Structure 1
C-alpha cells in the first residue's frame, strides 16, 4: 500500500511510467487491503508455533517432562493399557515414543467423543494429563494458522493469501525501488506524525524482509489444500516425490498415510498404506514387538507408532525430527513383523527433498535457534509492514472515503498486468481466482457504479 511518488521527494516521471506505477500501486493496495488481517494472523500464530517445543517443555512441562530415574522404561503395551484405563471405553490409536529420557510418552486413545492424548511417565506408568487431541494448544495454533479449524473455504482463503503475499512483495519492491530520491530507501524521513514516515517504515521493512517473506510464502504453499495436494500428486507421478516403486510388491489398502498418522510428512501424506496378510493360523505381533522392530531398524527416538485398525491393517512407525536426514516411515506387517515399506529422507526425489527442506526452514527447525530467530524476524516484519500500511492508508485517505490509488491514465498498462495475472493464476489457481474477483470488482463494479467510484476514490 505504498505511495510510489512521495510528495517531498518526487522525481519527474514520464506519463507511461506514471500510469504503470499507478496500476501497480492500485494492485498493491487491493492485495494488501484484502490480505492484511490474514497476514497478521499468520505472523502471530507462526511466531508462536516456531517455539512449540520450548512452550511444551516449559508452560506444559507438567505433562511433557519427567524425571529420569536411570531405570528402563515400561513396555509400550503397559503404558497403552494405563492410558486406555484413563479413558474408559476407548481403543488404542497410537503410541509416541519418548523423545529423550526426560520426555513423557504419549498414547492416543479414541472413544465416542473423539481422540484423546494421554501423557504418561514412561518409568512409572503414571498418567500425567489427558486432553482431547483437538484441544492440544499447539495443534490449535497450527490449525488456526492454516484456518483449517474453520473449514475448507477458510483454508482456501489462506492459500489465496499465500499467493497475494508473493504479489505484495513483487509489487512492493517495484514501488520501493529508488528512482532518484535519497530518502525512503533505507532511511525514514520526517517523524511518526507525518504520513511519509509511515510510508518509509512500510517500504523499508518490506524491502529488507522481502526475501524472507517470499521464503515463508513459498514454503507454506505446499501445505495448502488445493495447490499443495496438486503439487504432491504431480511430484509423485513424475517420480520426484516419494519413490512409489517401494510399494510395487506389497498389497495396498485405500487409506492414505495421513489417515493413520497424526503428523505425516508432506512427501508421503498421500502415499497408500500397505495391508497385512495372515498365513493361517497367525497371531498379531502386538505393540511391544512392533516397537522393538522399529527400534531395531534404527528409527530415531520420538517416533509415532500407529496400530492396525483392523485385521488387514499394519503398524506404521514414523518420525519427522528437526534433522531431515533422520526422517523415517516404516510400515510393518502385523502378523509377520516384516517391514513392508521402509522409507527415509535420502530415498525422496528432488522435489520431495526440496519441499521438506523448505518446510523445515518455515518451521524454524533447520538450523536450531538461528532458524527460529530468522523466521521470527520475518513474522515481526510482516506485522510491522501491515500495521504501518494501515496507519499510512488512514493518514492518506480522504475523509469518508476508502482512498484507493487512482486509475492509471493510460489503460494499456493493464495488458502487461493481465499477463502477470494469467501467469500467477496458472501457477496458483486459487490466487488466480482471487485476482480475477478483485480486478473484476474493480473494473466492472466500482468503476461502473458512481456511488462506489466516489467512495473508493
Structure 2
C-alpha cells in the first residue's frame, strides 16, 4: 500500500502549514513493532517498486474487464436483445433453427431466454472457433429469427470484447508464459497491501480520523502519503480478497490451494448423469478465466425424449431458476440442466435427466456443497464480476481504480523523496530470535505454498546482497585511494 522511502523519517520536517499532529505525550517503548518495522518497510519498499508495474497492468486490465460487462450489452445489443413477443417457440424448435444456420456445428448446450426481450443462445462446437470456445447462435425466441453468431467463452458466456479483455488481464495474450505475470501480481498483492496496512496503522496519531480521511491543503509529499494511506485502508480488504481468489486458479499456487481444499473435504461435488454412476463432468471452472462450456461435441445414441420434455423433467425436480444452461446428452450421458443465476439468493442447483424416459438420474443442490466449495465458488464469481451483477462490477472497478491510484501515489512519493533509498540493511538482526525463527519458518511455508512469491523474494534478496557487496567494494576502494 505504501511505496515509501524508510531511510528517512516517516513524516519529514514540514512548514507550519503542514505541521503534523502533536505526538503522544508518552514516550514510545521499544518492542516487537520497533524491531519489525524496519524490516516491513524494506520489504514493502522493494515489493512496491519492483512488483508495482505488474500490479498496474493487472489493475488497468481488471478495470477494463469490470466495465466490459456493460459495454458488452451495448456492443452486442443486436444479438442479445429482441422485441418482446406474445409467445415463445418451443426450445427444440429454436435449436433446430440454429442447426440449419450452421449445419457444420454440433450443438452442445442451450441457454434459454432468461427474461422477456432476451435471445436464446445455442452453443455449438465448431471447427472455426478457437479451442475452449463455443460458437453461439442467437435466436429470437418469439419469431425464430437468427440475430447473429459470435464466439462465446467461459461459463458466463463472454463475447469477443470481454473475452479479449479477459485474456489481456489473465495472461497478456501470451499463453502459459503470460500467466506468470498475473500470478506474480496476485502473489504479492496481499503482502504489499497488508504490509502497507500495518505501516499505516503503526503511525501514532492523536486524531484517529486521519487514518480514514485524507488530508487537504496544497500538494506535498505529506498530502500524497495521507491519500495513499487512507485510500489503502479503505481498499485493503477488497485487495486481499482479490489476491486470494486470483490465486485459486493460478498455475502453481492454484494447485497447492486445490490440494489443501480437497484435503479439507472442500472439493466441488459432481453430478452423476449416467445410469452406471459415472460422473457427468461436474466442474469447478468459473467465468472466462478458465474453462469452456461444458458438454461434449458428440450426440447421444438411442431413444431421446427431446429437449423440451427433458427441461420439463428438470423443472419438476426443482430446477426453477429462469437462468439455466441445458447441456445436451452425449453417448452414455443424459441431459444436464444447471441453474446459472449468481444473483442473491444464489440459484446454482443442477439435475441430470435420462434422455430415454425423462427420469431424473441425479440432483445436486448448491446448498449441499461443502462450505469451502461454496466460498470458493462465490469468491471466484465475485472476482470475475458475475456475483451480484452490476454492484459486483462497480465494486471491482472501484477496487481497480483505487489500486491504480495507490501505485501512482506510491511512485510519486518515491520520486519526491528520491533517490528513494530503502531502510538500512540488516534490519532482521534487530528482531529477537524468539520472533525471528517463527517468522522465518512462516515465510518459508508461504514461499513454498505460493512459489512465485518465494522465487521473487529470493531474487530480491540476491539483488540486495549484490548491491550491498558492490557498495562495500566501492567504499573500500575509496578508502584505499585516499
Match of 1:21 in 2: 37
Separation (CA, whole Å) in 2 of partners of 1:272 and 1:413: 59
The 3-state SS of whatever aligns with 1:140 is helix
Match of 2:161 in 1: 137
Gaps of 5+ in 2: 14-19, 154-158, 476-482
1:28/1:172 contact within 8 Å kept? yes
Match of 1:345 in 2: 366
Cα shift at 1:327: 0.6
* TM-score, length-scaled by structure 2: 0.77
Cα shift at 1:378: 2.2
Cα shift at 1:330: 2.5
Matched, 1:107 2:134: no
Match of 1:303 in 2: 324
Cα shift at 1:176: 1.4
The 3-state SS of whatever aligns with 2:379 is helix
1:155/1:225 contact within 8 Å kept? yes
Cα shift at 1:116: 1.6
Match of 1:428 in 2: 450
Separation (CA, whole Å) in 2 of partners of 1:313 and 1:293: 16
Question: Within 5 A, what are the aligned runs for 1:49-448?
Answer: 49-50=65-66, 53-71=69-87, 73-114=88-129, 115-133=134-152, 136-147=160-171, 149-180=173-204, 185=211, 186-188=213-215, 191-192=218-219, 194-243=220-269, 250-252=276-278, 256-258=281-283, 282-299=302-319, 300-308=321-329, 310-321=330-341, 322-363=343-384, 370-398=391-419, 403-413=420-430, 415=436, 418-443=440-465, 445-448=466-469
Q: From the superposition, tell whether residues 341 and 212 of structure 1 become closer, same or farther in structure 2 (CA, over 3 Å).
A: same
Q: From the superposition, tell whether residues 452 and 6 of structure 1 become closer, same or farther in structure 2 (CA, over 3 Å).
A: farther
How many corresponding residue pairs? 438
Separation (CA, whole Å) in 2 of partners of 1:228 and 1:409: 33
1:22/1:405 contact within 8 Å kept? no
Cα shift at 1:16: 9.0
Aligned-pair Cα RMSD in Å = 4.0
The 3-state SS of whatever aligns with 2:346 is helix
Match of 2:478 in 1: none
1:44-82 CA-to-partner distances (Å, cap 9, x unmatched) read: 3434444555434334221111111121x2223332233
The 3-state SS of whatever aligns with 1:129 is strand
2:214/2:223 contact within 8 Å kept? no
Separation (CA, whole Å) in 2 of partners of 1:116 and 1:385: 40
1:337-394 CA-to-partner distances (Å, cap 9, x unmatched) read: 3333321211101111222333344455555655544443322211110111122223
2:5/2:421 contact within 8 Å kept? no
1:99-128 CA-to-partner distances (Å, cap 9, x unmatched) read: 112111111223322232221211112111
Gaps of 5+ in 1: none
Separation (CA, whole Å) in 1 of partners of 2:305 and 2:241: 45
Asked which structure has the greater CA Rg, the reply is: 2
1:221/1:227 contact within 8 Å kept? yes
Separation (CA, whole Å) in 1 of partners of 2:46 and 2:274: 49
2:137/2:149 contact within 8 Å kept? yes
Cα shift at 1:272: 12
Q: From the superposition, tell whether residues 453 and 407 of structure 1 become closer, same or farther in structure 2 (CA, over 3 Å).
A: farther
1:447/1:453 contact within 8 Å kept? no
Q: From the superposition, tell whether residues 368 and 109 of structure 1 become closer, same or farther in structure 2 (CA, over 3 Å).
A: closer
Q: From the superposition, tell whether residues 336 and 221 of structure 1 become closer, same or farther in structure 2 (CA, over 3 Å).
A: farther
Cα shift at 1:408: 3.1
1:302/1:319 contact within 8 Å kept? yes
